[in-house]
Amino acid sequence: MQRDGTPFNEFTISSVVCACALNCATLECMQLHAFSIKAAIDSNCFVGTALVDVYAKCSSIEDASRVFESMPETNAVTWSSMLAGYVKNGLFEEALLLFRNAQLIGFDKDPFMVSSAICACAGMATLIEGKQVHAISWKSGFGSNVYVASSLIDMYAKCGCIREASLVFQGVELRSKVLWNAMISGFAKHACALEARIIFEKMQQRGLLPDEVSYVSVLNACSHMGLYKEGEKYFELMVREHNLSPNALHYSCMIDILGRAGLVHNAYDLIQRMPFEATASMWGSLLASCRNYGDIEFAEIAAKHLFEMEPSNAGNHVLLANIYATNKKWEEVARARKLLRESDLRKERGSSWIEIKNKVHSFTVGERNHPQMNMIYDYLDNLVEELKKLNYKVDTNHDLHDVDENRKQTLLKHHSEKLAVSYGLMSLPSDIDIPIRIMKNLRICGDCHNFMKLVSKCTSREIIVRDTNRFHHFKDGCCSCGEFW
């Protein structure tokens, strides 16, 4: 076009930039950006919006932000692209700040902008802001929009409010496959395997065929409850009935299903028979299953692969050491600790947070900075004494610090989720039937899992804990995970 001398305009440039976004062609995008500056059309709204979109999709979020800030004129698509870019790159706080700025200047919102704001709330698992954006979506007339509704379902599910997610789903009359998939995924996150399978079947009864995403979600639901026979049935159905080729995510789900059900050998065989190389996620799933069932042989195989694939992940070393400790292999525990020290890796510090009266309260292990810390520790001490009447005993096998038994008990007693639940019980009225919702950045340990079950029985309160793997609903001394975690 340039060789022929054919005139171009802002629409020509923006169209080519959009083509770059499809393939994440960052270099070509930068060349077009330079060309647009040379042609003095870089300040055009269409060109600027296309540049924001492609930079964000190519993970060059700082470049996207610079273009956005320099634009003299923007439109709803520009703001939506910048919001979506922040969310895609995990900058959830920046996304919500941008959304608030759009409201302050009276900018017209569209469903995509609102949907991205809701996704940001889901990413941070912040229920307060999520409900506020939900209210804005209804006020703006987007409540039944499929993109907004699916984002709301995902947000409520990630914030531990599966009932609210289900209400959003039920409130939409014209349900697309995206909406059905969001609801199946939400139920799967909360170990509601029966509900997930019912929704999966209802979707087909309404004439919608399940896709790859549908099967990932329903397989996840089976995994969280150890339903390996049902999982195998769905895995076969997707190929036989719906002519879908299983991808890495489906195989990962099946490995998790078999491992959680105690069929560690079968899970390893599946890894060996797969048509592609196993991912770190698959080996990680196998290693976690080995911990649950004390299988040292396959744990060492999985750990060997993980050490090569994720050399900077201290969690894999800790998990292997835990498996050795469970099997009383103290020499191997010492060797694993030494390897961890020599590699100069540091385990991520555990932290938990809880929302009380529209404010987020964060806790780390042995927290001392909270203004009510002394009261929280006193409450926790009294709570532990009550739990001892229910035969609670601190399980020090879940602490690998090289310290004496008393120190281990203290460290476990002051785990972040125990501090968070103590503060929740202190702060939330006991006569109001609302769950205590806690978010955690790591997998909940076995001692804390047992602790939460007994607390739910002792206090007659439902406790919901979201860790890195799933949601745990503790009620009347039981957990929704059925010990498959």
What pLDDT score was predicted for residue 270?
A: 96
Residue type, 224: H
Distances in Å between the Cα of 17 and the Cα atoms of 12, 23, 42, 63, 81 are: 9, 10, 12, 14, 14
Rounded to whole angstroms, the Cα distance separating 390 from 190 reads 27
What pLDDT score was predicted for residue 21?
A: 60
Burial code of 210-245, b = ≥16 C-beta within 10 A, e = fewer? Answer: bebbbbbbbbbbbbbbbbbebbbebbeebeeeeebe
Using only C-alpha atoms, the chain has a radius of gyration, in whole angstroms, of: 25
What pLDDT score was predicted for residue 220?
A: 92
> Of 354, 380, 383, 382, nearest to 458 (Cα)?
383
Residue range 227-252, pLDDT digits in tens: 899 999 999 999 999 999 999 999 99
Q: Which residues of the chain have pLDDT under 50?
A: 1-2, 5-7
> In the chain, where are the structural domains located?
351-479
Give the start-end residues of each E strand in 305-376.
351-356, 359-364
- Is there a contact between 399 and 411 (Cβ–Cβ < 8 Å)? yes
What pLDDT score was predicted for residue 484?
A: 64
What pLDDT score was predicted for residue 6?
A: 47
What pLDDT score was predicted for residue 49?
A: 84
**Residue 210 three-state SS:** coil
Rounded to whole angstroms, the Cα distance separating 454 from 477 reads 5
Partners of 475 in the beta sheet?
478
Output the CA torsion 20→22→26→27 (10° steps).
-40
What pLDDT score was predicted for residue 135?
A: 94
> Of 19, 5, 10, 18, nearest to 53 (Cα)?
18
Q: How many C-alpha atoms does 18 have within 13 Å on its Cβ side? A: 11
What pLDDT score was predicted for residue 345?
A: 67
